Copies of this chain bind each other. A is one copy, B any other.
Amino acid sequence: MWKPDRTTKKPLYQQIVDYLERRISYGELPPGSLLPSERKLAEQLGVNRSTIIQAYEELRASGLVESTVGSGTRVSLTKWGIAPKHTPNWRSYTDGGTFLPNLPLMRRIREVLRNGEKLIDLASGELSPDLFPNSIIHTLLQQDPFQEYLGYDDPQGYYPLRSALTSFLLQHHNMNTTESSVLITSGSQQSLYLITQCLLSPGDAVAIEDPSYSYSLPMFQSAGLRIFRLPVYNNGIEPDDIVKLYRQHRIRMIFLNPNYHNPTGTTLDPAKRVQLLDIASKLGIPIVEDDPFSLTSFEGVPPVTLKSMDTDGLVLYIGSLSKIAASGLRIGWMIAPQSVVKRLSDARQQMDFGLSIVSQWLAERLLRSPQFDLHITKLRHALEQKQQLMVNALTDILRDKVTFTPPQGGLNLWCKINLKIDDSKLLEEAIKRGVVFVPGSVYGSEQGYVRLSFAKPHVDEIGAGIAGLAHALKRY
């Protein structure tokens, strides 16, 4: 976002006045809009609160904004002497809509991360910049001249990329598939979104792991689904629980993340996988296998995916480049029966008309690049090392205050805090100390758990991050 320019002679408060005047006159802040509080704006722009106070005074003097005690500072209804008009009550629009906003805690975390520069980020489930395949991408863009067709793409996705994926999935997951069963999406998020919008109807019952990343996604509620929980144990869910849920609620779909599960890090036991597929097949319930992490396996042996064991076409397999290459590429995939791929690509065409050819073309080059395997190997080692650093810091600093089991892959460490805590209060305490994490309740777990991501922070930050968390815990 915009920040004042400290290199010019123009005083900061004046720059802020001009900036807000511009936004008001351009209709971006219509008459009646509430401006941020002085404290908040100061935080956002990284200036002293006194600077904001001075800027707001200036704006009040010009009659452009009005402040009333309690209700804050608003854009005046009569601005530039123009007679007031009925601008739309935007509030009533933004508060409406069938699609629900993100959870307040998630929005809080993202807002803090967007504004605060010097925070240690144990919250974002993504790789640190040094782990992205920057140099490979750099080279690919320079060496291969781009000459693809720039018109509307096949709604299923760029064919050469789907073709590269069939080889990739065979090589890494021993998964047999053909181009026509691959749907390219902008990531696991969009794959899940398409499934909830197009294959399920309001009132349908679905089974989701407890805890699960899915609980942080209001998209399930937006689709009007009834969610039933499958408790996650040390070796994953209990397949028999599905039978119970089916008898009671006629669940229509099962959402699982069997490999280095987010947030707990557990991996579904091989014997249970066989049992699970057998039960799902007998009941005729599809399984959505969300598999973002399996290639991060520290030993280099990814768990056997459900899809590769699936002989009856009951698994919808979801993967992406976000956790193994770079989230900014926005490339994901779904492997599904043809009728499902057809239905979803038709809907997706209406929603966004598909992905950029350029990014799909680049992803295809990346997957086919001989450098990519090397990248994955480096990534695995780097993640293992980062996890070890976090484990050491936790053992040194927090000892018996926390309990955790380090997974053999993935980006996250799931910690039980052995103290009575309110996890959102703990988050605020941590933020004050320059550390951000995700409270377990975001994933539907009971109080007392936190998800610490070791992938995003720089190696030098991990220890300090845990120290900050320990500080925050001192309050208890």
Q: Which residue of B lies closest to A29 (CB)?
A: B338
A261 in the interface, Cβ–Cβ < 8 Å? no
| Distance of A327 Cα from B314 Cα, bound (Å) | 35
Q: Is the CB of B94 within 8 A of A339?
A: yes
Stretch at the interface among A53-61, A183-191, A386-394, A465-473: A183-191
CA gap between A327 and B356 in the complex, in Å: 9
Interface residues in A275-330 by Cβ distance below 8 A to B read 281-286, 310-315, 326-330
Contact residues in B for A283 (Cβ distance below 8 Å)? 86
**Chain B residues, Cβ within 8 Å of A343:** 94, 97, 101
Bound CA span A329–B361, Å:
11
Chain B: minimal CB distance from A50 (Å): 24
**A2 interfacial contact with B, CB 8 Å:** yes
Known: A28-B177, A141-B141, A359-B358. A330 touches B346 (CB 8 A): no
Q: What does DSSP make chain A's interface, helix, strand, loop or mixed?
A: loop
A476 within 8 A of B: no
* Interface flag for A403 (CB, 8 Å): no
B199 touches A96 (CB 8 A): yes
Cβ-defined contact, B150 with A132, below 8 A:
yes
| Contact A357-B340, Cβ < 8 Å, known A311-B27, A312-B31 | no
| B200 & A96 in contact (Cβ 8 Å cutoff) | yes
A355: chain B residues at CB < 8 Å are 186, 330, 356
Contacting residues, chain B, for A107 (C-beta < 8 A): 346
- Distance of A148 Cα from B138 Cα, bound (Å): 10
A418 within 8 A of B: no
Are B353 and A186 within 8 A (Cβ)? Answer: yes
| CB <8 Å contact, B193 and A352 | yes
Chain B nearest CB from A222 CB (Å) reads: 8
Residue of chain B at shortest CB distance from A132: B150
Residue numbers in B under 8 Å from A25 (CB-CB): 176
Are B359 and A87 neighbours in the complex by a CB distance under 8 Å? no
- Given the complex of chains A and B, what is the CA–CA distance between A26 and B166 in angstroms? 11
Measured as residues with beta carbon below 8 angstroms from the partner, the interface class of chain A is 35 or more
Give the nearest-CB partner of A113 in chain B.
B152
Q: Could you give, for residues 138-171 of chain A, a 1 whenever the CB lies within 8 Å of some chain B CB and a 0 otherwise? A: 1001100111111111110001000000000000
Is the C-beta of A67 less than 8 angstroms from some C-beta in chain B? Answer: no
A122-130, A371-379, A430-438: which lies at the B interface?
A122-130
Of B102, B346, B357, B362, the contact of A102 (CB 8 Å cutoff): B346
Contact with B along A326-344 (1 / 0, CB 8 A): 1111110000111110110
Specify which chain B residues have a CB less than 8 angstroms from the CB of A15 in the assembled complex: none
Known contacts A98-B202, A151-B328, A310-B27; is A356 also within 8 Å of B353 by CB? no
A353 touches B190 (CB 8 A): yes
Q: With contacts A331-B356, A356-B356 known, is A311 near B150, CB below 8 A?
A: no
Is A1 interfacial (CB-CB < 8 Å)? yes
Enumerate A92-110 residues with CB–CB distance to B below 8 Å: 93-94, 96-99, 101-102, 107, 110
A180 close to chain B: CB less than 8 A: yes
Return chain B residues, CB-CB under 8 Å to A86. Answer: 281-284
Q: How far is the CB of A195 from chain B (nearest CB, A)?
A: 9
Q: Given the complex of chains A and B, what is the CA–CA distance between A155 and B107 in angstroms?
A: 11
Name A253's closest neighbour in chain B (CB-CB). Answer: B93
Q: Which residue of B lies closest to A99 (CB)?
A: B197
A281 contacts which chain B residues (CB < 8 A)?
Answer: 85-87
Interface residues of A in 195-250 (CB under 8 A from B): 197-202, 204, 217-219, 222-224
Query: Separation in Å of the A368 CB from the closest CB of chain B?
Result: 17
Give the docked Cα–Cα distance between A312 and B96 (Å): 21
Residues on the B chain within 8 Å of A14, using CB: none
Given A94-B343, A339-B91, A351-B193, decide whether A151 and B200 contact each other with a Cβ distance below 8 A. no
- Whether the Cβ atoms of B350 and A218 lie closer than 8 Å is yes
Instruction: Give the residue of B19, B98, B177, B352 whose beta carbon is less than 8 angstroms from that of A26.
Output: B177
Whether B342 pairs with A94 at a CB distance below 8 angstroms is: yes
- Interchain residue pairs with CB less than 8 A apart (6): A27-B313, A30-B314, A87-B284, A186-B356, A193-B352, A328-B356
Closest 5 CB pairs of A and B: A27-B313, A30-B313, A356-B359, A150-B326, A86-B284
